[in-house]
Amino acid sequence: MLAEDNLLELRNVYREFRIGTALFGTTIAAVDGVTLRLKSDLPAILSIVGESGSGKSTLARMILRLLEPSGGQVLLDNENVWESKTKDELISFKRTVQPIFQSPHDSFNPLRPVSDSLYDTALNLDLAKSRVQAEEYIAQSLKDVGLDWKRIQGRYSTAFSGGELQRVSIARALLPRPRLIVADEPVSMVDASLRMNIINLFAELKETFGISFIYVTHDISTAYYISDVIAIMYRGEIVESGAVKDVLSDPYHPYTELLLGSVPSIGEKWASRIELSGMEIEEYNLIGCKFYPRCQRRQEHCHNVRPRLVSMGDRSVACLIYRDDMDKHAS
Ligand SMILES: Nc1ncnc2c1ncn2[C@@H]1O[C@H](COP(=O)(O)OP(=O)(O)O)[C@@H](O)[C@H]1O
Ligand SMILES: [Mg+2]
């Protein structure tokens, strides 16, 4: 396998939404030209971090083939995820990429035992020909997340705690032995005391099975703890990305600085959480830098010029402060 082979590649991915009424509404770019890459040779955990409304879930849903991009391309193993697919190609896609959502209680039908949902996944993804055969897979996946089939079998989702049920949904995602798991705020509804167990489980699954993760969160502390690579999102754009230790120990973008400033101490990474104020629609539609209204380091031209995400060594940043540096890098 060539080193530059990509498991996942997003090329200038864009998604707009119409909000408000037809007459008085406006269009916002919830995801506004996102480009990123996950290599296939080395499993990695990529955190996508941003405050509420920054477009993280929209991005995750486009990767999971749940929401169609308005522009750009999502490539998995160099194949366009959004090209029409045969039934077999769809199954192959779902075997490669699996989701974990925020609310485990919404991920299971409350009227059926959770074990039925596990059987469904095993049979729909053609992992087994019969329930008896499926049971082997299911028991193994449950064991991989520290659960016992005998305890799970026949029980309804309402009988589980959030943390336990989220483990069941991780077991379900593991059934096809995917190469990528996209987890959208997977611990934000889990009891604080159990969050770390689930976060650690991701790292374990990465090591044991070579699964890559996209971990979507508004919580920079867990992102710091778990990820290899981090991408910071603001108003639909990635404003900074790179190795997590580099980005969070020496942030380049004023927004990353602001996020870190909201964490009392990165050493107390587990205790702290970030909730910033809600989004303002106008900021999505600024001509220049979307962070301009909140930026402590803004310059006059930032109002009119939209910064692009540009590489600076192993890292990338979208900020005009570095424009001179970028020119040097480019030449
Ligand atoms: N189905 C939708 N219809 C209209 N607007 C949407 C829809 N989904 C998301 N949005 C808007 O897109 C923006 C990004 O949302 P989202 O991707 O859910 O952000 P995040 O997950 O970072 O909180 C928000 O302003 C949100 O209101
Ligand atoms: Mg979200």
CATH 3.30.70.1060 assigned to domain 6-330? The reply is no
| Per-residue pLDDT, 204 | 96
Residue with the nearest Cα to atom 11 of ligand 1?
30
* Block residue for tokens 């790292």: 203
Using the mean position of ligand 1's atoms as its centre, give its distance from the Cα of residue 18 in Å. 10
Q: Residues 97, 108: contact at Cβ < 8 Å? A: no
From the alpha carbon of 216, which atom of ligand 1 is closest?
21
* Ordered DSSP codes for 163-208: HHHHHHHHHHHHTT--SEEEEESTTTTS-HHHHHHHHHHHHHHHHH
Check if 166 has its Cβ closer than 6 Å to any atom of ligand 1. Answer: no
What ligand has the least distance to the C-alpha of 183? Answer: 2
| Torsions phi, psi for 167 (to 5 deg) | -65, -40
Using the mean position of ligand 1's atoms as its centre, give its distance from the Cα of residue 53 in Å. 6
In Å, how far are 162, 180, 204, 209 from 139, measured between CA atoms? 20, 21, 18, 17
Residue with the nearest Cα to atom 17 of ligand 1?
55
Pairing of strands 212-217, 180-184: parallel
Check if 16 has its Cβ closer than 6 Å to any atom of ligand 1. Answer: no
| Per-residue pLDDT, 271 | 39
Residue with the nearest Cα to atom 18 of ligand 1?
57
* Block residue for tokens 């060594």: 313
Terminal Cα-to-Cα distance of the chain (whole angstroms): 32
Q: How many CA atoms lie within 13 A of 20 on its CB side?
A: 8
Listed by start position, the domains of the chain span 6-330
Residue with the nearest Cα to atom 12 of ligand 1?
30
In Å, how far are 139, 143, 170, 264 from 151, measured between CA atoms? 11, 11, 16, 41
Element (H, E) at 325: helix 323-330
Check if 58 has its Cβ closer than 6 Å to any atom of ligand 1. Answer: yes
| Per-residue pLDDT, 277 | 41
Q: Tell me the pLDDT tens digit for each residue of 28-38.
A: 899 999 999 99
Check if 290 has its Cβ closer than 6 Å to any atom of ligand 1. Answer: no
Mutate which of 31, 48, 52, 58 for ligand 1? The one with the most ligand atoms within 8 Å of its CB, which is: 58
Check if 218 has its Cβ closer than 6 Å to any atom of ligand 1. Answer: no
30, 222, 42, 231: CA torsion to nearest 10:
30
Check if 281 has its Cβ closer than 6 Å to any atom of ligand 1. Answer: no
| Per-residue pLDDT, 54 | 92
Mean pLDDT, the chain cut into blocks of 10 residues (331 residues total): 78 92 84 95 96 94 97 96 91 97 92 96 96 94 96 95 94 97 94 89 96 95 94 96 96 92 51 44 78 90 92 93 62 41
Mutate which of 17, 21, 218, 275 for ligand 1? The one with the most ligand atoms within 8 Å of its CB, which is: 17
Using the mean position of ligand 1's atoms as its centre, give its distance from the Cα of residue 21 in Å. 16
Answer positive or negative: Cα dihedral of 116, 119, 125, 126.
negative
Residues in Cβ contact with 127 at an 8 Å cutoff, skipping those fewer than 6 apart: 95, 121, 134, 137, 175, 176
Give, as one character, the DSSP assignment of residue 15: E
What ligand has the least distance to the C-alpha of 61? Answer: 1
Q: At what angle do helices 192-209 and 162-174 cross, to 10 degrees?
A: 10
| Per-residue pLDDT, 282 | 67
| Per-residue pLDDT, 253 | 96
Burial class, 88, CB count within 10 angstroms (exposed 0-12 / middle 13-18 / buried 19+) = exposed
